[in-house]
Amino acid sequence: MKEHKGSVLNTDSYDRRRFGQLMEMSEKLREVSKEGSKLFPSFQPLMGDMWAGLFKMKPELLEEVTEGLEMNHQLMERVMSDEGYQEFREFTRLDDLAAALGTTKYSETVLGWVKEQAQRDQDLADALQNYMKGKAGASQEASEALYSALNQNGNALSQMLAKAAQEAIEAKENVKSLLGGMQAGSGDSELKKVPLKDQLILAERLSHDKKMKDIARWAGRMKVIANRKQRSKHKDAINRNGIKQGNAIEQLLPMELGSYASPMTKMDFLRRYVEGQTLQYDTKGPEQLGKGPIILCLDQSGSMSGQDTISKGFALALMSIARKQRRDFAWIPFSSHADTPLIYERGKITVQDMIQLATIFLGGGTSFEPPLRAASQIIQQSRFNKADIVFVTDGESHVNDHFLQSWNELKDKKGFSVLSLLLGRESIQGVEGFSDRIVRASSFEDESVHQAFEI
């Protein structure tokens, strides 16, 4: 079999080198390439062109192509003239992750479609076989058979490409939900801090792991709620802390902005503004930098298995608060014992950590003391006082009085607080001894759970 190289687009050596780097980074791209190269020998160059067509600023089809690339030319012409292609390019153009995901999905789709046509059409199947064997003129013969298939069944390909584009868009959104911060629109800038290879590992994991996909969706929703809670908390802090004189534009009272807008009072406003006498919110409140860590003790006993994905989304939303506020974050999964705490400095989490977090589930019974002991060790070692502990459980457990005494002594010394979320039960037995605040909720989907995001 003769391996074909080259391009049917206006690519250059940079484009080819860049696509080669992506192939090295992405296991999925290599898999699709290997599979496609069993069907026709110019499949990998076709993938390179798919990528260039999605990534480049102005991709254009060449009018003449070298022998052996006739099928690639036809397929790329069909893809690039497809109704949804230009719209999809708005998402993929000059975007490394989106273009790589789009290339994987488009390549898989075209491969699947050609295979399907070859099963229906003996002429195409024979031509592809001869092409693989390197027979003279076989690539031209395969191209002619493909032309006929495109005319007859091109609509099916269009529908498949639209689905592939949607899947690529979803995959990137899910990666942003997992890796992004809390603010709307901050996902892309957060992604840039993560190596592309890691983004691809996560995207590929998400594409075939339903649980990871569900966690990503819950994390996205929970982060929006967390952001809203933190914003309203900040607003409350502003309201509580009153008014002062100054000239910080972003803190001016609405009435002062009205003074500026009115021709009658504009000059008076400008004079007072220059002299620092305009009225503004006093935002210097009790919220100081250098807050303590956030510690999440998350029940993973057998009865919590039905809420595992949403609980992981909740954990990632809490972690995004920690990241935004540069606070350490500790995650202590527990059942009848506590797992080794996972500590993320300043809330930063790697892709491998995220996959680990998503796949851990302990199962078993419920015991409160082990996670509390683990939390107290973290607090004793922490760089900061004033930790916020969120303790989530759907169970009951007795906590030893002697332990509670030492816990409360540590609390007095270190100034931490505990919010306990009780899921699906009325009794506060077991948690009342160590909690400052107890919130009951029917499940994680209950709005009262969102109070945890005010920490």
What DSSP designation does 335 have? S
352-355: long-range pairs with CB below 8 Å, 24+: 352/198, 354/178, 354/179, 354/202, 354/316, 355/201, 355/202, 355/205, 355/212
pLDDT value, residue 165? 97
**CA 74/CA 160 separation, integer angstroms:** 17
Residues 79 and 181 in one domain: yes
β partners of residue 330: 295, 343
Give me the domain span that covers residue 118.
13-208
**CA 385/CA 356 separation, integer angstroms:** 28
Residues 202 and 77 in one domain: yes
Which of 208, 231, 265 is where one domain is finished?
208
137-142: long-range pairs with CB below 8 Å, 24+: 139/42, 139/67, 139/68, 139/69, 139/70, 139/71, 140/67, 140/70, 142/40, 142/70, 142/71
CA dihedral 132, 135, 141, 142 (to 10 degrees): 0
- Sequence length of the chain is 455
Question: CA end-to-end span of the chain, whole Å?
Answer: 64
Which of 218, 251, 281 is where one domain is finished?
281
Write the CB contacts of 134 (distance below 8 Å, at least 6 apart in sequence): 1, 2, 41
pLDDT value, residue 224? 83
**CA 232/CA 440 separation, integer angstroms:** 22
Backbone φ, ψ for residue 345 (5° rounding): -65, 130
Q: What is the Cα gyration radius of the chain? A: 29
Q: Is residue 234 part of a domain?
A: no
pLDDT value, residue 181? 60
Residues 251 and 335 in one domain: no
pLDDT value, residue 289? 40
* Residue of 342, 432, 447, 450 lying closest to 396 (CA atoms): 432
pLDDT value, residue 4? 52
> 3-state DSSP call for residue 449?
helix
Q: Is residue 213 part of a domain?
A: no
Residues 397 and 445 in one domain: yes
Q: Is residue 5 part of a domain?
A: no
Residues 447 and 310 in one domain: yes
Residues 264 and 159 in one domain: no
Q: Is residue 72 part of a domain?
A: yes
User: What are 297's two structure tokens?
Assistant: 């003790």
pTM score of the predicted model:
0.75
Residues 71 and 195 in one domain: yes
Residues 275 and 416 in one domain: no
Q: Is the torsion defined by CA of 362, 368, 373, 374 positive or negative?
A: positive
Taking residue 394's Cβ as centre, other Cβ atoms within 10 Å add up to 18
**CA 175/CA 309 separation, integer angstroms:** 16
Q: Is residue 419 part of a domain?
A: yes
Residues 260 and 305 in one domain: no
CA 228, distance to chain mean position in Å, is 19
pLDDT tens for each residue of the chain, 455 residues long:
344 568 999 999 999 999 999 999 999 999 999 999 999 999 999 999 999 999 999 999 999 888 889 999 999 999 999 989 999 999 999 999 999 999 999 999 999 999 999 999 999 999 999 999 888 888 899 999 999 999 999 899 999 999 999 999 999 998 988 887 645 445 567 777 889 999 999 998 888 888 889 988 888 888 888 878 777 554 544 454 567 788 888 788 888 888 888 888 889 889 888 888 888 876 654 444 447 889 999 999 999 999 999 999 999 888 888 888 888 899 999 999 999 999 988 888 888 888 888 888 889 899 999 999 999 999 988 665 788 999 999 988 889 899 999 999 999 888 899 999 999 877 777 888 899 988 889 888 888 888 888 88
Which of 257, 281, 305 is where one domain is finished?
281
Q: Is residue 226 part of a domain?
A: no
SS (H, E, C) 68-112: CCHHHHHHHHHHHCCCCHHHHHHHHCCCHHHHHHHHHHHHHHHHH
Strand 294-299 to strand 437-441: parallel, antiparallel, or no bridges (unpaired)? unpaired
Q: Exposed, middle or buried, 423 (CB in 10 Å: 0-12/13-18/19+)?
A: buried
pLDDT value, residue 99? 97
> 3-state DSSP call for residue 347?
helix
What DSSP designation does 340 have? P
β partners of residue 9: 61
Strand 437-441 to strand 417-423: parallel, antiparallel, or no bridges (unpaired)? parallel
Q: Is residue 286 part of a domain?
A: no
User: What are 305's two structure tokens?
Assistant: 């298995």
**CA 367/CA 389 separation, integer angstroms:** 17
User: Which run of H or E residues covers position 156?
Assistant: helix 138-179
Q: Is residue 387 part of a domain?
A: yes
**CA 177/CA 345 separation, integer angstroms:** 20
Residues 253 and 327 in one domain: no
Q: Which amino acid is at 101?
A: L
Residues 270 and 305 in one domain: no
Decide if 75 contacts 146 (C-beta within 8 A). yes
pLDDT value, residue 150? 93
**CA 361/CA 77 separation, integer angstroms:** 48
| Domain count within the chain | 3
Beta strands in 225-328 (DSSP E): 243-246, 278-281, 294-299
The domain that holds 322 is classified in CATH as 3.40.50.410
**CA 285/CA 235 separation, integer angstroms:** 11
Residues 45 and 103 in one domain: yes
**CA 126/CA 130 separation, integer angstroms:** 6
